Chain A
Amino acid sequence: MNPEFSTSTTAQVLRSLPKRYAKERRFRLLGLCAIVLTMLFLMVLLGTIFLKGWTAFQQTHIRLDVYFDPVRLDVKNLANANYGALVRDSMQRMFPDVEGRSNRLQLNRLISSGAAFTLQDMVTSSPEIIGTTRSLWLPADDEVDMLIKGHTPRDVPETIRRLSDQQLVWIDTLVEDGRLEKQFNGAFFRNGDSREPELAGVRGAITGSFYTLMVTLMLSFPIGVAAAVYLEEFAPKNIFTDLIEVNINNLAAIPSIIFGLLGLAVFLNFFGLPRSSSIVGGLVLTLMTLPTIIIASRASLKAVPPSIREAALGIGASKMQMILHHVLPLALPGMLTGTIIGMAQALGETAPLLMIGMVAFIVDVPQSLQDPATVLPVQIYLWADSPERAFIERTSAAIMVLLAALLIMNATAVYLRNRFERRW
C-alpha cells in the first residue's frame, strides 16, 4: 500500500469532515424545529380549548327553598301544573321586599327557566313531596353564570351590561348568604341540546355519535375486510381489478361533502330512510370509511410473509383455510388499527352529516337508530354558531369531549396492535 496515497486520503477525509458534520447538524436542527413547531401549535390549540372550556364543567347554582304548594299542584293534573310559579314563589320569598312587576321579572330572570322542569320531574316521580318544603340547588341563568365565572365584566355601564345594577345587588346578596355557588355541571353530560346554555348538554350528541359509529363499524368492518381479502387473495389480476383498485384509492380522496350529497340522494330520497337519523349518518360514514379500511386491510394482508402462506399450502391447506387460519389472524391487528383510525376519522366528520339533516336542533336524546340525532362535531358546529356567551365555553367543552373520545379510540388502536401483533 502506498503510504502517500493513504495520508492524502486521510487529509482529504479530515478536510471534508467539518462540512459533513455541519450538514448533519443542520439537518437535525431542522427536524427539531419542525417538532418544536408542531408541538407548539398543538399546545396552543389544546391550551386555548382547555382554558376556554374547563369552566363549562362547572355551573352556577342557586339554592332555593321550594315549597311544593298544594294549591298550585293539582294532584289530578300534575302535567299541566304551573311549576314556574313554584320557582317564582320561592324567589319571591327570598326577596320579599321586591315590588313591581318589572322588578319581579328581573328577579325571576336570575334562575334558569329549566328549574321548573327539575321541579316537575321531582313531583312526577314522587308526588308525596307535595306540601313539603325542600332546599334545592337549581341552575342559575347563563348570564349569572357568566358573571360569576368572570366571563362578562361587571364594571361597565349598566346600559351595555346584560344584568342590571339591581340584579347585581341580588346576586351579591345570594353569594353572601351562601345560596349561590359553582357546582359540577352534571346537566352538561345528562341533557341533550337546548336553547338555554345552562341546560344544554352533550348527551344527545354523544349518543348520536355512538349510534352512528356503531352503524359505521358494523357495516364498514366486515365489508371492508371482505373486499380487501377478495381483492388481495382471490381476485384475478386484470384490467378490471386494477380499475377497482384505482377507484378505491380515488374514493379515499373524495371530499366528504360529496358523500353527504350521495347519501341525501340515495338513502333519503331514493330509499326513503328517516332524515337526520343515526342510521343514515352511519351509512354515509360507511361509504367514507370503507376505502380507508380496505386500503389498510390490504396493506396488512400484503405484509403477511409469503413463507407463512407457503407453509400452509405446502401441507395441503386449501386457499380458504390458509387465509382463515393463518393470514387473517396475522393481518388482523393491522386491519383493526386501520379500522379504528377510519372510525376516528368518521367520529370527527361533519360535512357529509350536514347534508343528511343531522344539523337540526334536536333536544331529545335519541333512543333508536331511526330517531333524529346529531353528532359531536355537528353539535360543536351548532354551538359555535350560537350568540350566547355561555355557548363559547360549552363549545370548547364539547371539543374536549370529542378529543377525549378520539384519544380513547387511538389508544385502543395502539393497545390492540401491541396486544395481537405476533412475531415471526
Chain B
Amino acid sequence: MSTLETTASLQKGFAVPRENIGSRVQKKSRKIDRENRETVGLQFVDDPRMTCRAVNVFYGEKHAIKNVSIDIGKNEVLAMIGPSGCGKSTFLRCLNRMNDTIVGCRVTGEIRLDDLDIYEKNIDVVPLRAQVGMVFQKPNPFPKSIYDNVAYGPKIHGLAHSRSELADIVEDSLRRAGLWNEVNDRLDQPGTGLSGGQQQRLCIARAIAVRPEIILMDEPCSALDPIATATVEDLISELRQHYTIVIVTHNMQQAARVSQRTAYFHLGDLVEVGHTSRIFTNPAHQLTEDYITGRFG
C-alpha cells in the first residue's frame, strides 16, 4: 500500500463516529512506519477559523517547521503535543505572527484567518494580534497594577469610550478568567505580586480583555502547581464557548482533558492530527504511539 493510499484510507477511517473507536482499538491496527512523516489523520475540518497550508518555518538555515497543513475549527480546543524542540511553539507563534520579532525567522506557505492571508505583505500585525491573543508559558504580567494589566489592551485599542466602560471590561475579563473574586479588593496592587497561578489567569484575563476570537496558549500551565493547573484547565473549557483555542502542552493528560483535537509534532513535522480521544487511545502513527506511551519525549 502506498503512502498516499494509506493516508487517504486512514483519513476516511477517522471519519468514523467516536463510539466506534473502541472497536478499532481492539483490532490492534498496524501503525504507520516511523520513517514516514506524511501527516495522517483529521487535518481539515468543515468550518475552520484558521487554515494553514504548506507552512514552513526557517530559523536561518534551520528548517523548524516542515510543510505543515492543518485547520483550526471554530470553538474547538486544539492541543499540540510533541517532544521538546519539535516546533509546536514555533508553529503556534506563526498563527499571530509573533515570530516576526525573531531575527532570522522566515515563514513560507499560507495561513489564513477566515479569508485573510495573515502573511500577506500589507497585513498589519496589530489588529491581527488583537484578534488572535496569546498566553505565554511563563506568566508575564506587566509590572503594573492588576487593573492596568487588564486595562492596557482595551486602552491602546480604544475599546472603551469611558472610564466606567473600561472598568466593566476589566471586571468582565477578570470574571471570565476566574480571578475577580480573588483580586477585586486589590486591583491597584502590582500584578507581579500575585501567585504564579493567579498571574497566569491575569495574563489570560489580559488576553481576553481585547476580545480576541482566537487564543493561543503556549504551555500555559508548565510553571504552575497542580491546583492552579486545574483552575486554568477549567477556565479553558469554559472559554471554549466563546473562543477558539490552540494550546501547546507537554502534559498529555492535560491535552486529553481540555482539547477536542490533538496534533502531534515530531522534529518539525506534523505527524498526526485527530480527535483527542482517538489519538490517545489508538494513534495511527508509530511515532505518536511511541510518544504517548512514554518511549521518548
CA distance in complex: A37, B192 (Å): 43
B residues 71-92 in Cβ contact with A at 8 Å? none
Chain B, residues 128-160, CB within 8 Å of chain A (1/0): the string is 111001111010111100000000110011000
Of B18-26, B203-211, B271-279, the stretch lying at the interface with chain A is: B203-211
Of A102-110, A151-159, A308-316, the stretch lying at the interface with chain B is: A308-316
B207 x A423 contact (CB < 8 A) = no
A315 x B130 contact (CB < 8 A) = yes
Min CB distance A314 to B, Å, is 4
A314 x B156 contact (CB < 8 A) = no
CA distance in complex: A325, B203 (Å): 17
Chain A, residues 371-404, CB within 8 Å of chain B (1/0): the string is 0000000000000000000000000000000000
Q: Which residues of B contact A305 (CB under 8 A)?
A: 140
Centre residue among B133, B136, B143, B192 by max chain A CB count within 10 A: B143
Q: Which residues of A contact B133 (CB under 8 A)?
A: 314-315
Given contacts A314-B129, A316-B210, A321-B156, contact A422 B143 (CB under 8 A): yes
Residue B297 lies at the interface, judged by CB distance under 8 Å to chain A = no
Question: Which partner residue on chain A sits nearest B154 by CB separation?
Answer: A315
B153 x A311 contact (CB < 8 A) = no
A311 x B141 contact (CB < 8 A) = yes
Q: Which residues of B contact A310 (CB under 8 A)?
A: 98, 101, 134, 136, 140
Question: Which partner residue on chain A sits nearest B137 by CB separation?
Answer: A307
Residue A424 lies at the interface, judged by CB distance under 8 Å to chain B = yes
Given contacts A307-B140, A330-B143, A422-B143, contact A314 B192 (CB under 8 A): no
CA distance in complex: A310, B140 (Å): 9
CA distance in complex: A163, B130 (Å): 87
Question: Which partner residue on chain A sits nearest B102 by CB separation?
Answer: A306
B136 x A309 contact (CB < 8 A) = no
Residue A52 lies at the interface, judged by CB distance under 8 Å to chain B = no
Min CB distance A386 to B, Å, is 55
Residue B13 lies at the interface, judged by CB distance under 8 Å to chain A = no
Min CB distance A308 to B, Å, is 6
A317 x B138 contact (CB < 8 A) = no
B: interface residue count bin: 20 to 34
Interface of A is mostly: helix
Chain A, residues 192-235, CB within 8 Å of chain B (1/0): the string is 00000000000000000000000000000000000000000000
A311 x B156 contact (CB < 8 A) = no
CA distance in complex: A317, B142 (Å): 13
Min CB distance A13 to B, Å, is 37
Residue A326 lies at the interface, judged by CB distance under 8 Å to chain B = yes
CA distance in complex: A259, B129 (Å): 48
Centre residue among A237, A307, A316, A422 by max chain B CB count within 10 A: A316
Q: Which residues of A contact B203 (CB under 8 A)?
A: 311
Interface of B is mostly: helix
A314 x B143 contact (CB < 8 A) = no
A residues 315-360 in Cβ contact with B at 8 Å? 315-318, 321, 325-326, 330
Min CB distance B192 to A, Å, is 6
Q: Which residues of B contact A318 (CB under 8 A)?
A: 126, 156
Centre residue among B96, B128, B141, B142 by max chain A CB count within 10 A: B142
Min CB distance A298 to B, Å, is 16
B157 x A316 contact (CB < 8 A) = yes
A315 x B136 contact (CB < 8 A) = no
Chain A, residues 250-271, CB within 8 Å of chain B (1/0): the string is 0000000000000000000000
Q: Which residues of B contact A313 (CB under 8 A)?
A: 98, 101, 129
CA distance in complex: A178, B161 (Å): 80
Residue B103 lies at the interface, judged by CB distance under 8 Å to chain A = yes
Binding site for A on B (CB under 8 A): 96, 98, 101, 103, 126-130, 133-136, 138, 140-143, 152-153, 156-157, 192, 203, 206-207, 209-210
29 A-B residue pairs with Cβ-Cβ distance under 8 Å, sorted by A, are: A305-B140, A307-B136, A307-B138, A307-B140, A310-B101, A310-B140, A311-B140, A311-B141, A311-B203, A314-B96, A314-B136, A315-B153, A315-B207, A316-B126, A316-B127, A316-B128, A316-B129, A316-B153, A316-B156, A316-B210, A317-B152, A318-B126, A318-B156, A325-B156, A326-B142, A422-B143, A423-B143, A423-B192, A424-B192
A-B CB proximity, top 4 nearest: A316-B130, A307-B140, A314-B134, A316-B129
